[in-house]
Structure 1
Amino acid sequence: MANQINVAKQDLSDFPKLPFGIRHNLMDNPLLSLDRLVALAASMPRDSIEYNSGKVAIDQNPETVPLVEMDPVEVVRRIREANAWLVLKRVERDPAYAALLKEVLDGFARDLGHADAAAAGFTSIEGFVFVSSPNATTPFHSDPEDNFFVQIHGEKFFHIIDNQDGAVVSDADLEFAPSAHRNLSYKPEFEARARVFSMDAGDGCFVPYQWPHWVRTGANYSVSMAITWKSTEVKRRNRLLFVNALLRKAGLPQPSPGRRPALDAVKIAAYTGLRAALEPLRRVQGLRTQHGK
């Protein structure tokens, strides 16, 4: 089976450290047509759909995001004139979309010399479909996973900012504070460090773990999909950043990941132990919720 995405050989040598452009053949897939996405939105629980006005700032305050007074299914149906931004989260819970994501990452894994995505260490595979009105903005933020972002319809401009030296976004802002919003503080001078991917249908880019970015659409409505996964190292780092956020919130600033490997290992072990202790309580709470208690 032919691969769904194409990556230049020179970019494979730097994977997954640096962003790069890709080409793909997903733009004609019926699962990503607007009519099919209307049906998908109608089938999803409302807490799996996030949407708001597309008229937001790059450094938008999350407490003042303008909302759209419309049902999310209607937002997708009327995206051309809705002035909205919407994301369908975790689409892999639908078997057809799960199969599509696996097919894409299996093909890429073969390019890397692996049998399939699992052999390449691509775990926790998830899909997020974005449906945006013309001239909409996604504010500056970073994501806790690696990501192939593919453009299906319309034009999108993807600004990825180089923060490898930590000069743009601090360690503290990249930690996972339990109550923190994903939006990050932005300054126009960050653009000197940006790589901008101008994408039409059939284009895409690889967004490395925690590289901050912001996005805007062009003059037509946009449909895009993020195909995300977590490697063993990404999962380890996420656990460490979560613990660092908790300790920082308690007034104990933490060294950057990797500065004190022994301490990092202790924190990850603590996270694992705490999660194991809380899991039975979560299961009980889940049963109570299911039975309306």
Structure 2
Amino acid sequence: MTDMLMAERSAFETLFPNKPFRITHNLENDPRLTLDAILELVRALPGDHIEYNSGQANVSQDPDATPLVDLPPEEIVKRVETAGAWMVLKKIEAHPAYKQLLEDALLSVAHAQGHATLKEAGFSNVEGFLFVSSPHSTTPFHIDSEDNFFVQIHGDKLFSIFDNKDRSLANEDQIEHCITKHRNVAFKDGFDDRAMHNDLKPGEGVFVPYLWPHYVKTKDSYSISVAITWKTQATKRRNQLYIANAMLRDRGFPQAAPGVHPAWDAAKMAFVATASAVASPLRKSEELRKLFRKIALGKNANYYYRGQKGEEGVAN
């Protein structure tokens, strides 16, 4: 297989998967990542796999005050140069062609590291997030719940990454909130001095480790980017503990951070596993997915519907 995601061998040997580093890729001319193909993908995805708003957000954006854009998703793609919008298509692996793209990209990394399969390399729960942004759009400072090879397809971006061990950037309570409620984190004066700033052009990208805060800005042209993500067993476990803690906290039971009380963590993990097994067959329904998010994470858990025509104006 031709290498699709590439970096210096020393980066994989000394930095991966705990530190960010720059990568290159050969996906910029992939026909699945053109505006015409993305338009067809928008039409194929369920509503809760599409999130969008105005691109005129702040790096430190209050989620409750995120500016919206009065366009349906298809029009954002068609008019991306002038729409003033930011949009992400989530879990694109639901479409077979994009599932193949994501798995092929990660398999090229696995092979380069001497592994025969994605499972052997530790790449599980492979998901893809496709971003379409108008010029001069901002993705606010936030934290994601997975490891990520971020690749730039069209246009130029500034991608700024911050050390997740620096708890003055985001403490444990803020991290839990990002994983379970809304991903944005408040950004303060002076943070930028601590960033790894990356100017990305088509054919370039960056590895973003689990829970490393970052923000992104497009430049003078519209942007197409893809986040190729996965979860290890350790990250899945930590995410599940954040979810259990958030559910208990919302019901009046304060919780310590994951790892502080291992025995209690194990009991919470057993509960989450049981609840997930019961809910899993029902998640094929978009309406039931919305209901489960609301029950587990609160009334604002479906915040990303607020930009969509005909949906309730909820925000988080």
Do these two structures clear the TM 0.5 threshold for a shared fold by scoring above it? yes
TM-score (norm 2): 0.85
Question: Secondary structure at the residue paired with 1:224?
Answer: strand
Q: Give how far 1:213 is off.
A: 0.7
Q: Give how far 1:3 is off.
A: 1.0
Q: How many residues align?
A: 287
Whole-Å Cα distance in 2 between the matches of residues 37 and 184 of structure 1? 29
Structure 1 residues 195 and 178: CA distance shift in structure 2, 3 A: closer
The residue number in structure 2 matching 1:6 is: 6
Superposition CA RMSD, Å: 2.2
Q: Percent identity?
A: 45
Structure 1 residues 11 and 31: CA distance shift in structure 2, 3 A: same
Contact persistence 1:126–1:229 (CA under 8 A): yes
Which amino acid in the other structure matches residue 265 of structure 2? D
The residue number in structure 1 matching 2:144 is: 143
TM-score (norm 1): 0.91
Q: Give how far 1:287 is off.
A: 11
The residue number in structure 1 matching 2:213 is: 212
Contact persistence 2:49–2:91 (CA under 8 A): yes
Which amino acid in the other structure matches residue 18 of structure 1? K
The residue number in structure 1 matching 2:282 is: 283
Contact persistence 2:60–2:141 (CA under 8 A): yes
Q: Give how far 1:37 is off.
A: 1.1
Whole-Å Cα distance in 2 between the matches of residues 38 and 229 of structure 1? 25
1:176-191 to structure 2, matched below 5 A, reads 176=177, 180-191=181-192
Contact persistence 1:5–1:108 (CA under 8 A): yes
Contact persistence 1:156–1:200 (CA under 8 A): yes
Specify every segment of 5 or more residues in structure 2 that has no aligned partner in the other structure, as ranges. Answer: 289-316
The residue number in structure 2 matching 1:20 is: 21
The residue number in structure 1 matching 2:314 is: none
Question: Secondary structure at the residue paired with 2:40?
Answer: helix
Contact persistence 1:177–1:242 (CA under 8 A): no
Deviations 1:72-118 (A, max 9, x none): 11110110111110111111111111111110011101122211212
Which amino acid in the other structure matches residue 30 of structure 2? N
Whole-Å Cα distance in 1 between the matches of residues 149 and 170 of structure 2? 22
Deviations 1:160-193 (A, max 9, x none): 1112142210101111589722211111211122
Contact persistence 1:142–1:211 (CA under 8 A): yes
Contact persistence 2:145–2:179 (CA under 8 A): no
Deviations 1:211-246 (A, max 9, x none): 111100011110000111111111111111112222
Whole-Å Cα distance in 1 between the matches of residues 61 and 270 of structure 2? 36
1:80-95 to structure 2, matched below 5 A, reads 80-95=81-96
Whole-Å Cα distance in 1 between the matches of residues 284 and 95 of structure 2? 25
1:124-139 to structure 2, matched below 5 A, reads 124-139=125-140
Deviations 1:121-142 (A, max 9, x none): 2111111110101100001111
1:40-59 to structure 2, matched below 5 A, reads 40-59=41-60
